[in-house]
Amino acid sequence: MRTGARYIAETLNGYGVTHVFYVEAILRRTLVEMEKLGIKRILAHSEKAAAYMADGYARASNRPSVCMSQSVGAANLSAGLQDGFLGHVPILAFTGRKPPIYQYRNAYQEIEHNEMFDAVTKYNVRVDGTDQLPHILPQAFREATTGRPGPVHVDFLGYEGDLTDLDELSADVVVEERYGRCPAHRIVPEESDILEAAKLLREAERPVMVVGRGAVVSQAADEIRAVSRRLSIPVVSSIDGIGLMPDDDPLYVGPVGTYCRPCANRVVSEADLTFFVGCGAGDQVTKNWTLPPAGARVVQIDIEPAELGRNYPGTTGICGDAKTSLALLLGFLTETREDTQWAMRARELREKWEKQVEAHSMSDAVPIRPERLCREITGTLPQDAVVVSDTGYSAIWAGTLIRITKPEQLFLRASGSLGWAFPAGIGAKCALPERPVVAFSGDGAFWYHLQEMETAVRRNLPTVTVINNNSVLGQSQVGIRRAYGGDSGKESDQYRFLDTDFARIAESMGALGIRVERPEDIARAMETAIISNRPAVVDVVTEPESFPILE
């Protein structure tokens, strides 16, 4: 006989879970059993931050992660899963609920919360008794890691999951190790689809490859580089596909779409065939489906068959794992195409863009230009650094200007939730404790979860958080000014914050805080923070009227 607590803990341990992220009070006896098995418990200050930590952990490790909250925190936890759902991240979210006799009777702190998880999970189930655990827990791992990975939700009996915790069952722990990683299966495509794609790629004069997060999950970087070199194909990426090609590779152009290097958009606009690899061809990466335009020739690899041609009908689709599909494709692309005029054209466009941003990247202006900040970060990144970027302008600055040049470096980016990077960086550090983690955030984003600096200090999780501190919601300024249309008014009420010294706040929590006001001091501050082996904030005062070059 095992208690439910012991059964859950042994199951998580069997699947390789090393950390859980939670807010009290949930599965208390399970947490005790986790301690006995060596699973580390990271107590956060908010459920949303706990979900983001689990998200960062899973993206950094390509393994499922766990976040938890009691019933009253379930709404916050579900909100935190949105980014993981959009980013196809394997997260297990555990909550508790009061037993049936309490339902429909105005129970304290209790609402029906399962429906809140429907939109942000692949699998949303209730555990009514411990006899379900041998079936539901393995299925949760299967759902999280197969096909397009994604979050799952398991709702345990008891407001704190305590009724599941304390009940007993007589059953062996079921662990299927395959589902403790992503991808759990490498789906092999049909040979006829590979042959058709190879034919189209050979015939194309100006093909371009667009790589995305699906290729990251599949760990298809080597195969992407091999196909690119075999056919001399320029490569662009979604923001969350950064790192699949080193930034200094002559065939890599940069991120494409609305958060882009304009040179990448230009390459796709001039291409006669677009090859999506592990990329859903959504509105952001295609600039609202104008890149490529409707009717263009498209080849697409995706693990989900329903995604093939979703946004570009008539697509030549390859249903399969990205790494496996590209490896098979290489077998039919036997002739190496020499450096072409098209590849040289792509390099020419990138070089032109680099000259555009060079003046800002080298600027000694005070307040500091974000382009200079990104240049200095690039120069100080260790060879195995993990860069974690927030969304909005943070994603544009980091994605276009922080150069990921080493195969060992990793770039993780929020899928749209402001405030994600700092707690996600803590999760990434839990997953990869030996590697330096650098989170890039604006001050507007950092305000969301700055209290988690206490979590990082308490649990000795030495991340470096760089704050692009311009005291405004930078991306909002343009839209708000457009809304005013020249009318008089207090437009800055909608985007300006007080000037804040985040370094002092970090120091008050026991972290290392460094305030930077001059560009020549950035590199020294970064190096000091990285080697300190302490949670650190590098608070960089930047120009609020700086805007990325997107056209």
Residue 189 near residue 316, CB atoms below 8 Å: no
What domains lie within the chain, and their CATH numbers? Answer: 2-180 (3.40.50.970), 191-345 (3.40.50.1220), 362-541 (3.40.50.970)
**What 3-state DSSP class applies to 310?**
coil
Q: Which amino acid is at 324?
A: T
Residue ranges of the chain with per-residue pLDDT less than 70: none
pLDDT digits (tens, 9 = 90+) for 175-218: 999 999 999 999 999 999 999 999 999 999 999 999 999 999 99
Residue 486: the pLDDT is 85
**What 3-state DSSP class applies to 458?**
helix
What distances in angstroms separate CA 543 from CA 353, 366, 417, one per listed residue? Answer: 21, 7, 23
Q: The whole model's pTM is what?
A: 0.97
Cα–Cα distance measured from residue 392 to residue 414, given in angstroms and rounded to the nearest whole number? 9
The phi and psi torsions of 287 (rounded to 5 degrees) equal 50, 60
Q: What's the count of helices (H) and strands (E) in the chain, helices before strands?
A: 20, 20
Residue 339: the pLDDT is 84
Residue 294: the pLDDT is 84
Quick one: DSSP state of residue 452? H
Residue 418: the pLDDT is 97
Side-chain-facing half-sphere of 197: CA atoms under 13 Å? 30
Token reading at 61? 């490790």
Cα–Cα distance measured from residue 214 to residue 280, given in angstroms and rounded to the nearest whole number? 8
